[in-house]
Amino acid sequence: MNIKWHIMLICFVVSLVIFGGMFIIIEEQFIQSPIQDEIMEIDGVKNVSYENNRNNAKIIIHLDYVSNFNDTHAQIVNILKMQGIYEESSLIIEDNRNEKLEELAYYIKPALYEGAREGNYRELQDYILERTSHYEINNNRFFVNESYINVQAKDGNSYLYISIPIVHKEGEDEFVH
């Protein structure tokens, strides 16, 4: 039997390339496009991009200013859950910060993570109000739902969105509203 190994190797490589190309096309047409289209229908969404690097998918959403970030965030999360990719993807919300809002985010993020872990939402709200008044930012909102702490602030044409997942302690019931 005279086997031509180089032909078998070429056929194997071509098969891998075809299989990989089909996987990319299927992912783009049947996963990315429907998600992007559905999220783009939400008021305030400017742009949606989807990056899939091995086991970590990133969904990057650029928002215009919205009056209720909590509702917009909940709509986005619900779409990702319905599509079945919420758990294995990272949701990145891009806002339009100026220097003052960037500094505000720098100071309140540690408190937000602590509040999400400890559940001291009233203290957290007081701290955020203190920090926003320190920076003379009067247009701000603080939300707590069963899964996230959401903060939005606006300074002129610039705006800030921060969403922190709430950490539920083992054996603890989830937040009830």
31 secondary structure, DSSP code: I
CA-to-CA distance for 165 and 149, rounded, in angstroms? 6
What is the three-class DSSP state of 155? strand
Kindly give the interhelix angle for 121-134 and 99-118, rounded to the nearest 10 degrees: 170
Tokens representing 8?
């078998």
pLDDT of residue 24: 67
What is the three-class DSSP state of 53? strand
In the chain the first and final C-alpha atoms are separated, in Å, by: 75
Tokens representing 16?
């891998």
pLDDT of residue 56: 73
Residues 6+ apart with CB under 8 A from 59: 35, 39, 48, 49, 50, 80, 85, 89, 90, 91, 92
pLDDT of residue 150: 96
pLDDT of residue 176: 43
Burial letters 122-148, b for 16+ CB under 10 A, else e: eebbebbeebbeeeebeebebbbbebb
The pLDDT tens digits along the chain (177 residues) read: 566 777 888 888 888 888 777 766 666 555 556 778 888 999 999 999 877 776 677 889 999 999 999 999 999 999 888 877 776 568 899 999 999 999 999 999 999 999 999 999 999 999 999 999 999 998 999 999 989 999 999 999 999 999 999 987 665 555 443
pLDDT of residue 51: 77
